[in-house]
Amino acid sequence: MIRTLRTKLVAILASLTLLTGIGLTTLATDAYAAPSPNGQWEQIGDYWYFKSGGQYLKNQWIYDSGYWYYVDGSGIMLTGNGGTTEELDWSEVGTSGWHEIGGKYYNFYPSGRMVTGWQQYAVHYTDGFDYGWYYFGSNGALARNEWRYLGGNWYYFQNNGVMRYNWYPMTLDGTDYLLGSSGALIYGWYYVNIDEPFWVYADSNGVAANGWRYLGGKWYYFDAGYMYNRYWEGDVVYVDGAAYHFRDDGSMATGWINSYGDWLYAYSNGQLLEDGWVKSGNNWYYFEDFYMYTSTVFYSGGLLYGVGSDGAMITNDWAYSDDWGFTEWWYFGSNGAAVSEWYYINGYWYYFDPYDHNVMVANTTMIIGDVAYTFDSSGRWVG
């Protein structure tokens, strides 16, 4: 889970002045029950009680001037920390603001009025401190372990009542969902704007995308809503045993791929060429471990080939290497393979030693077939 601090507009909560001698409605268990006899509030010491018919009511809901109140088994009106951001401690139900009534959890303002709607309270996590959002329904009960559709969006409230947000993904009963920075369930594309941002995607049913999706004319791959791309996955990503490259925007690449100066190649189905030759235009190119060779000589299929700085196979031309502190020359024929033994080029004979990787013989006399041949510094046979 990624948790970031977010703020919402907290409703301005007005304190309620308790009135006496008014008509009331009470409930034995939950809000909205049958009316009770008229009565009045009485304060005894630090506590408020409600007296009706000569008796103090107990374990009942009381509806007064459009608001709900509750008196406990001792007849004391319950109060809480509604309208504040003080922590609601689950280990101290009944003293830290929480009150359990009929198996449901409620909170009250210091005036005793029952809390409804959105509330923000302090939350302590093992890795730090944050403010969590809670929702109390119109009946005052805290939303827990459930989805709520509020203001045109879906939100999820966990067991302790805290709204989940910035979860990518949140897994419920084996299904992955995405919750944005506001806590709202995500549909479609969503940009997670953190220090190292990334994109997620959810289908139209709110379920995080898994696997391939064709979107806007491009192919993308998702894992629990998370979009693959080069920045996070690197150049080569294996999906069901096949290798692919996903560009910085997450789209599956085809054709030539330039990755920080290195070249890869993907067929039209997106699968990368791992090893071997590919023809593009009029030229052949060679790849090993997904990357194109450049400016080198190498063996392929038992034959020696050379490629230039652009990666194109060298044909009907010379190439040299001075990697070992001295210069070695080859000549590559029309099929791209280095020629071997005697070869006639532009009016001169040259000899390419088959026992030394077809390197051109130069500036020496060499016994070939029991005959001595002399070659000048350019490799030409001179006698």
For 217, residues 6+ apart whose C-beta sits below 8 A from its C-beta are: none
What pLDDT is attached to residue 3? 25
Residue 371 within a domain: no
State how far the Cα of 40 lies from the Cα of 88, in Å rounded to an integer. Answer: 30
Query: Can you give the residue range of the structural domain that contains 149?
Result: 1-164
What pLDDT is attached to residue 6? 25
Which residues of the chain fall below pLDDT 50? 1-35, 37
Residue 250 within a domain: no
Residue 49 within a domain: yes
The residues facing 266 across adjacent strands are 255, 272
Q: Reduced to 3 states, what is the DSSP secondary structure of residue 81?
A: coil
Place of tokens 């080939």: 305
Residue 31 within a domain: yes
DSSP of 300-330: ETTEEEEE-TT-BBP-SEEEEE-TTSS-EEE
Task: Say if CB 271 and CB 242 are below 8 A apart.
Answer: yes
Rg (CA), the chain: 39
What pLDDT is attached to residue 98? 82
State how far the Cα of 293 lies from the Cα of 13, in Å rounded to an integer. Answer: 70
Residue 54 within a domain: yes
How many domains is the chain built from? 1
What pLDDT is attached to residue 93? 58
What pLDDT is attached to residue 38? 83
What pLDDT is attached to residue 157? 98
- What's the CATH number where 138 sits? 2.10.270.10
Residue 225 within a domain: no
pLDDT in tens, 152-203: 999 999 998 999 999 999 999 999 999 999 999 999 999 999 889 999 999 9
Residue 6 within a domain: yes
Residue 81 within a domain: yes
Q: What b-and-e string marks burial along 104-124, b requiring 16 or more CB atoms within 10 Å of the CB?
A: bbbbbbebbbbbbebbbbebe
What pLDDT is attached to residue 376? 97
